A and B are shown apart, each in its own frame.
Chain A
Amino acid sequence: MKAIQAAKTGGGQWLLYLYGIYLALPVYWLVSLSLRSNQSIVGTTGDAGLTFANYQEIFTNPVWYTGFANSLSYVAINTVISVTVALPAAYAFSRYRFIGDKHLFFWLLTNRMAPPAVFLLPFFQLYSAVGLFDTPLAVALAHCLFTVPLSVWILEGFMSSVPRSLDEMARIDGHSLPYFFLRIFLPTIKSGIGVTVFFCFMFSWVELLLARTLTGSAAKPIVVVMTRTVSASGIDWGVLAAAGVLTIVPGLAVVWFVRKHLVKGFALGRVS
């Protein structure tokens, strides 16, 4: 206890501030760039006035805002599919013993051991063949290969920490399994669902390789649009920075909404 007190008031505090500055500096840089004109950034004029022109460009140019829409839609589809599929699967792994359950559970993780690039070619051919290429659904399904196993693992941990007597109690109380699952069990593990949503969202939102390969012009995600902002007059630094700032926002929003569950969820995970 004393050591912690000392760290709070002494040198440890400064270390913490330094670390905070280290983390915040790129974000600050990005925000400041996004509020300046290109001329100001590359330093050809001395004009350093604030401008919202870069943001205006993003919200008025369809290339930019459809990029955001595409990204958000495949991330949302991915998160919904992952959680919906993983909930019953995790329940089965947590509550039932069946032949090969442990092997299957481990096998889920092996998918995560391969880098996404491994799956590029098969996915590209598959989605081209079935006509899903260049749709948000294609990216969402491809991301599911990684987020579903992850979700099953996370949720299984949370479900196994709920005593089995809750299930038995519900059966004695005369509730059907679906009713029990939706009305009693899900509210009990809502922290776990929060954590799962967070991880699915984060994976899908920042993933670039699959998202770029599986989309053409129609479903181009924001991260891809950002890598293609080179015009005849050079790179549009200001707009790029504004897009970067806007890309951080949804992540912040998700963390904000599930923050209570995240803290609780991570604490639970640490205990068990």
Chain B
Amino acid sequence: MAEVVLEDLSFRYPGAAADTLAGLNLTVMRGEAHALLGSSGSGKTTLLNLLSGLLPAQHGRILFDGQDVSQVAPWQRGVTQVFQFPVLYEAMSVAANLAFVMRDIPDKQRSERVAEIAGKLGIDSVLDRRPAGLTLVQKQLAAIAKALVRPGVSLVLLDEPLTAAEPEHKWQLRQTLKSLQQELGATMIYVTHDQTEALTFADRVSVLHQGVILQTATPQALVEKPVHEHVGYFVGTPGMNLLEGIIREGGCWVDGIRLAAIHAADGPCKVGFRPEWARIEQRSNNVVDKATNTLPVVIRGTRTLTTSRGQSLGLAVARLGESEVVTRQTLTGLETGAGWLSIDPERILCFRDGWRLTDHA
């Protein structure tokens, strides 16, 4: 297993007008479970192909344990990959498929290794069968085994490996993958557009957007301190609320109400807060009291997610001028109509030109 470093990595397809990937810098530590999170078209497949060596690097370097592998063939890099849909060689049994990638290793060691990995993934019973007779989950487990079986693998790439699995199998597959990753200490890069998969699988997540890595951080930091509006919006269900605001007199203001203190240059900004950081309360219709941190809104509806001890918890949706605000809170007693929105001033984030203003007071 290796430490993987990207240095100023860029890529442009021949004939394209813009870079698909622009100046990526990233360090994935040895034995780290890393996730690349991005919507389709963000360049994640291109980055994956650069890492595996299917595409040659044009600009910048890829280092495995300090060795420049930018121009090295995939097999020499020691990279293996698990694809969206299980890829196995149909003409061979599962065991032969696994042994096939270890052709440079003596027979005895090879069969031991196959048995060991198959045992860990729970596919020992199907080793002698052809892939055609297996279920989708078994096939994908076999494909994962194929990626992990070769000793001296430096990096395992996972390209949305759970896409093909049924929802009820996804969780189990992800747990298997995660525990195996920890047990083997494998360096894994997991590419996905599904934030739940990324946040639950990875030690650290890189958010890729339009060919640029916006942020690399732990799942918790991505939720609490997104450095870019897009990260805030993309991570979290539902995503971060963003309101048009303004910074003046050392604070950020929305609709003439001061929400939080911030030390930043005066000017327009976007005020962001997660649904968990705010709550909406009912207000009697005509009273508009300009209290600090509190915005008058119109409650549009609620959606119950769970109920416990007579309290229903869920999402409340409200309108604030042109914008829509979603909060996650107790819904008991909340009805459509006028309401107050209060936001935790400690957690409010301000963005300008997309990026977070960091100098919080």
Contacts and interface: CB of A to CB of B under 8 A. Distances in A.
Interface string B67-93: 000000111100111011101011100
Interface string A150-166: 00000000000001011
A111 interface: no
B78 to A, nearest CB: 10
B91 A187 contact: yes
Contacts of A188: 89-91
Contacts of A184: 89, 91
Contacts of B52: 168, 172
Contact of B100 (A166, A171, A173): A173
A173 B81 CA distance: 9
Contacts of B85: 163, 165
A113 to B, nearest CB: 34
A173 B90 CA distance: 15
Contacts of A169: 81, 83, 87
A262 to B, nearest CB: 18
A113 B73 CA distance: 46
A172 B53 contact: yes
A171 B74 contact: yes
Nearest to A162: B90
A173 B75 contact: yes
B54 interface: yes
Contact of A163 (B76, B87, B101): B87
B90 to A, nearest CB: 5
Interface residues of A, number: 13
A25 B53 CA distance: 63
Interface string B85-113: 10101110000000011000000000000
A10 interface: no
A83 B96 CA distance: 28
A261 to B, nearest CB: 14
Contacts of B74: 171-174
B83 A168 contact: yes
Contact of B54 (A166, A171, A174, A187): A171
Nearest to A180: B89
Contact of A174 (B73, B83, B90, B91): B73
A172 B85 CA distance: 16
A168 B90 contact: no
Given A173-B75, A174-B74, A174-B75, A165 B90 contact: no
Nearest to B75: A174
A79 B264 CA distance: 78
A172 B84 contact: no
B333 to A, nearest CB: 53
Nearest to A190: B91
Interface string B49-60: 100111000000
Most buried by A among B53, B81, B84, B85: B81
B296 to A, nearest CB: 54
Contacts of B101: 173
Contact of A168 (B75, B81, B100): B81
B186 to A, nearest CB: 16
Contacts of A165: 83-85, 87
A243 B249 CA distance: 105
Contacts of A172: 52-54, 74-75, 79-81
A172 B154 CA distance: 13
B188 to A, nearest CB: 15
Most buried by B among A163, A173, A183: A173
A21 B73 CA distance: 63
A169 B79 CA distance: 11
Interface string A194-238: 000000000000000000000000000000000000000000000
Contacts of B53: 172
A173 B87 CA distance: 12
Contacts of A171: 54, 74
A172 B91 CA distance: 18
A166 to B, nearest CB: 5
Nearest to A186: B91
Most buried by B among A166, A174, A183: A174
A187 B131 CA distance: 13
Contacts of B90: 187-188
Contacts of A187: 89-91
Contacts of A174: 73-76
A166 B90 CA distance: 10
A54 to B, nearest CB: 46
A188 B53 CA distance: 25
Contacts of A183: 91
Most buried by A among B73, B87, B91: B87
A23 B91 CA distance: 38
Nearest to B81: A172
Nearest to B90: A188
Nearest to A163: B85
Interface in A243-258: none
A236 B261 CA distance: 110
A12 to B, nearest CB: 34
> Top 9 nearest A-B pairs by Cβ distance?
A174-B75, A187-B91, A165-B83, A172-B74, A169-B87, A165-B87, A188-B90, A184-B89, A172-B81
20 contacts: A163-B87, A165-B84, A165-B85, A165-B87, A166-B87, A168-B49, A168-B54, A168-B81, A168-B83, A172-B52, A172-B53, A172-B75, A172-B80, A172-B81, A173-B74, A173-B75, A173-B101, A174-B74, A183-B91, A187-B89
Given A173-B74, A174-B74, A188-B89, 10 more contacts: A163-B85, A163-B87, A165-B83, A165-B85, A169-B83, A172-B53, A173-B101, A184-B91, A187-B89, A188-B91
